[in-house]
Structure 1
């Protein structure tokens, strides 16, 4: 496979995860509106945003394969994106504390005018947290830019009591689903290991 892969993301976590698959790629941010539509489920939103990111760059880089991904945290019907500011991060972390919530990641691959997507859903149980713990965590800056206001791969891990599902998906790029899409598109993942 000589086709170039573009990761439609500025996320260093997604780039590191894609590196794990051994696939050379170029990361380019895709700027799309991430506002949920009325009544939209976490699954529908994550898939729509993943497709939107991939399609936005596929229009500009038609010769290349473009991979988009997005992650949404959901507690019941309430959707959590990235916190707008410290107060929003505090609200998210306080409302998720002591709960078991869903983390949904969508991944989409656009190649040659065709776009295919997959969804990965995990459940995360967060322990109860104190206001002081949340304030210290928010002061670290880590919650900003993270769905639900926490990073399981960072300091936020101290709040996570249980994960059922995919660790890479909660980080932002479900590797099992990503590998399946890349394999279907002709990327030689096992050959990259040689």
Structure 2
């Protein structure tokens, strides 16, 4: 077990990231950023004009970690490392976000069908003035899907809270013919890289 002084803050609402941290025995407390009205999000996830996917995901992640660190200082919380992450699905240089409707989910799935895309998961750890960051890249190949398969998938709830409109740990796994990289990274938190950054920030891990 990780000792109390080795606890971190996780600046993410993702249940998948929580599960992955628990999987490798990392103790954490949630430090959630605001992402809704009325005052708007603490960190905007709007892509800047001309911003490439790799630069976008790194910028957003580092802004999340920095904002969360400022919040914990404002609240006078115990000073522990803050971990933030952001996952972006990229086809060519096009960022595929979270679909907001069945029509958007279907259009996205048609783009992924029969193609290989990249999944970028950026990590940032802030602690006591030190900032650690990396971006892990994986490739995912979808088999060619027919209309019935795509319609059936988009009729589920799975596409609507995930970048790219799918989760590799869900129903979509039946359509994924090949991956290259980190399975946990595709889920949203590459555990090898996460462990490296936390060690750099002073977390004692075996």
TM-score scaled by length of structure 1: 0.92
More displaced 10-residue stretch of structure 1: 29-38 or 123-132: 29-38
Q: Which residue of 2 aligns with 1:29?
A: 32
Within-5 A mapping of 1:2-151:
2=5, 4-30=7-33, 31=35, 32-62=43-73, 63-151=79-167
Within-5 A mapping of 1:153-164:
153-164=169-180
Q: Flag structure 2 segments of 5+ consecutive residues without an equivalent.
A: 36-42, 74-78
More displaced 10-residue stretch of structure 1: 92-101 or 35-44: 35-44
Q: Flag structure 1 segments of 5+ consecutive residues without an equivalent.
A: none
**RMSD between aligned residues:** 1.4
Decide whether the 8 Å contact of 1:89 with 1:149 is kept in 2: yes
Decide whether the 8 Å contact of 1:15 with 1:27 is kept in 2: no
